[in-house]
Amino acid sequence: MNDLIKKLFENKTLNNEEFLDILSSNKYDEELKKLANIRREEYYGKDVYIRGLIEFSNYCKNNCLYCGIRAGNSKANRYRLNTEDILDCCEEGYKLGFRTFVLQGGEDPYFSDDIFLEIISKIRSSFPDCAITLSLGERDYKSFKDFFDAGANRYLLRHETANESHFNKIHPNNLSLEKRKNCILQLKEIGYQVGSGFMVGSPYQKLEYLIEDLRFLEILQPDMIGIGPFLSHKDTPFKNFENGSMCLTLKLISILRLMFPYSLIPSTTALGTINPEGRELGLKAGANVVMPNLSPSNVRNKYELYDNKIYSGSEAAESIELLTKLIEKSGFKVSVNRGDVKRTTL
C-alpha cells in the first residue's frame, strides 16, 4: 500500500506538502476509498442515515456571489413556509420513517427568534424522538442558545472556505470569515452537534485553500461535515465560472473520513446534481448520510441554489423506497434511528 495513504489512515493527518500531493494527483483514489470504507465501518457499520430536509424559505438578506437565492437575484421566485406547513412536512416525514428534520433556509428576516422558537418547540413536543437540525445561517449567541434550549440538537453552518481573501472574493463585504468561524465555535460551545464544510471548486479556489479548510476542521472537530462541488447559477455574478469537480469532491470525502472517522458526512444534493450517480459514489467514497427533500412539492424547484438542482426521483423524501434500493445496491443499509454522532468505534 502507498505509504502516504497508510500514514493518513494511521495518523489522521498529514503535512501540507503531503496533502497537496494527494489532492493534485489521482493515483491515490482507489486506495483512499478502500481505507475510508474501513474507517466508516469501524464506527458506523454499513449504516446510512437519512434526514428529511425542509427548505422553509428562499428569501435571503445576504448576497453571496455563488448562490442562486442571493438577495440580488430578482428573478428568484420567492416563497416561505409557515409554522403549520413546516409541521405538516414533519408529520409526513415521520410517517415515511425520518427521525431527523433539517430546517434549512436563506437568512430571511421574517423569521424572528420568536417565530423560530415557536416552530422548534412545536416540533420538539410533537416529535420527541426526533432530532432537530437547524441550518439558518448566522445569528447571535442568544438566538443560538434559545433555539438549543427550546429543543434543537444540531446546527449546520458551512465555513465555505477557510482562506480569508478567498472568503472575501465569494461573499459580500458585510460577511466575514472571522464572524462565520465565531458563530460555528459558539454553536459548539452551546452544545449543538455541529456541522461545517466547504464548496469544492468555487471560483478562485486553489488546492492550497482546501488544505486550510482541512486545518480549520481539525481545530473544530465537527460532528458533521458537508461538502459539495460548486455549481454555477445562471442569475448570479458567477454564472460563467466552471463547476467544481466531482472527482476532487469524492477524493475529499475519503480524506475527511480518514481524518474524522467518527463524523457524519452527507452525500450531498450538489454531488447528485453534477452526476446522476454522484450520491452513490459519495457513499462509496466514505459518506454516510443522505438528506432527501421533504419540502412541499410546489416549492421544491424554487430553492434553486444552483442550476438544475435535483429534487425528484430518489432525491424526493416520498420516494424513500427508491432511495433505499439505491443505498442497498451500493452495499449499505438505511438506518431508521436518529443517527447521532458516534465518537467511539462499534
In the complex, the residues that contact ligand SAH under the rule CB under 6 A are: 66-67, 104, 106-107, 135, 137, 157-158, 160, 199, 228, 230-231, 233, 270, 305-306
Query: Which CA distances in Å does 288 have to 13, 161, 268?
Result: 21, 23, 10
Please list, in sequence order, all residues whose beta carbon lies within 8 angstroms of the beta carbon of residue 239, skipping any fewer than 6 positions away: 232, 233
Whole-number minimum distance, CB 143 to ligand SAH, in Å?
Answer: 14
CB closer to ligand SAH, 37 vs 295 = 295
CB closer to ligand SAH, 222 vs 228 = 228
Q: Work out the number of other CB atoms within 10 angstroms of the CB of residue 15.
A: 10
Task: Kindly tell me the number of DSSP H helices and DSSP E strands found in the chain.
Answer: 13, 9
Whole-number minimum distance, CB 243 to ligand SAH, in Å?
Answer: 8
Cell digits of residue 193: 452537534
Sign for the CA dihedral angle at 294, 298, 304, 307 comes to positive
Whole-number minimum distance, CB 36 to ligand SAH, in Å?
Answer: 22
Choose among 154, 108, 114: nearest CA to 131: 154
Q: Work out the number of other CB atoms within 10 angstroms of the CB of residue 296.
A: 16
Whole-number minimum distance, CB 150 to ligand SAH, in Å?
Answer: 19
CB closer to ligand SAH, 51 vs 158 = 158
CB closer to ligand SAH, 57 vs 254 = 57
Chain position whose Cβ is nearest to ligand SAH: 137
CB closer to ligand SAH, 5 vs 183 = 183
Whole-number minimum distance, CB 127 to ligand SAH, in Å?
Answer: 22
